[in-house]
A = this chain, B = another copy of it.
């Protein structure tokens, strides 16, 4: 919805809007083939340098730049995001909250901050038979304490998310005490101060565990972080009031996954609308949203679009 472009007619509704309405299809939101994810919106918002995006290559060495040429997508410059009045994005929730609360519309007030950690436990590789338990430097018991630590942090408040997605023992033989364990931790929270507190709890816990397990080396690295995103409160209010006006049950929530709207929110007032997906499953052949929920989401989106596009603001 650009401020300074001529307002087009919306033929189906017979309405003339005060602002133009642009539909965005961002390049490479998923990041499955080319990293980073949310690539097009990152470039458009000035967060990801264009040169870096064009130089990204897939597992076969094919570059984004060449694929854009091959598909004919290299001919137009990125839209000037700064001209927009606002940005709206409709998405399935990718989680079970709407389904569990029996609500149809998620009023997304922001996105969780994310911190990724790589942790290594260094012990001593030994034969499972000859070495008595008391003489081993086995990192496995410390792995149990690390799991308890991380999940205790995840239990401190219902909005916290803590995930140990990867655990791998080395060399990984049935009859060898592992010399090394690698694990990952993913911490998320919609409040940056709370996320800071979770980070501090993790670091403090690791220091305590290192001192009570002196024979095991404990190495913790923060590898990546994505700050908390706050969507525009007046847009969120508009999503809620639009849903209410249509008699659709709405629920305020934050997004756990990343979306293009996270980039856009740093440049223009933005908001997201969620609809339920069955069992909270996504990125999976089982992913499903009912036609009724999709229609409800589209109607709330249209209502918010029209409200903003009709106003001179």
Contact = CB atoms under 8 A, between A and B. Distances in A.
Interface of A: 93-97, 100, 112, 114, 116, 125-135, 138, 140-141, 143-145, 147-148, 151, 154-155, 158, 160-169, 172-178, 181, 184, 186, 188, 255-258, 280-284
Contacts of A284: 125
B174 A128 contact: no
Contacts of A258: 129
Copies of this polypeptide in the complex: 2
Contact of A283 (B127, B138, B143): B127
Contacts of A95: 126-127, 129-132
15 contacts: A94-B127, A94-B130, A95-B130, A97-B135, A116-B174, A129-B255, A129-B257, A133-B158, A140-B147, A141-B151, A143-B143, A144-B151, A164-B178, A165-B178, A168-B172
Contact of A135 (B96, B141, B144): B96
Nearest to A257: B129
Contacts of A257: 127, 129-130
Nearest to A187: B128
A44 B233 CA distance: 81
B151 A132 contact: no
Contacts of A167: 140, 143, 167-169, 181
A166 B169 contact: yes
Nearest to A277: B130
Contacts of A141: 147-148, 151
Nearest to A279: B124
A192 to B, nearest CB: 16
Given A133-B151, A144-B145, 10 more contacts: A94-B130, A96-B132, A127-B283, A128-B186, A129-B258, A131-B280, A144-B144, A144-B147, A165-B172, A167-B168
Contacts of A129: 94-95, 112, 114, 161, 188, 255-258
Contacts of A138: 163
Contacts of A173: 165-166
A134 B116 contact: no
Given A174-B186, A188-B128, A164 B151 contact: no
Given A129-B112, A282-B127, A283-B127, A163 B144 contact: no
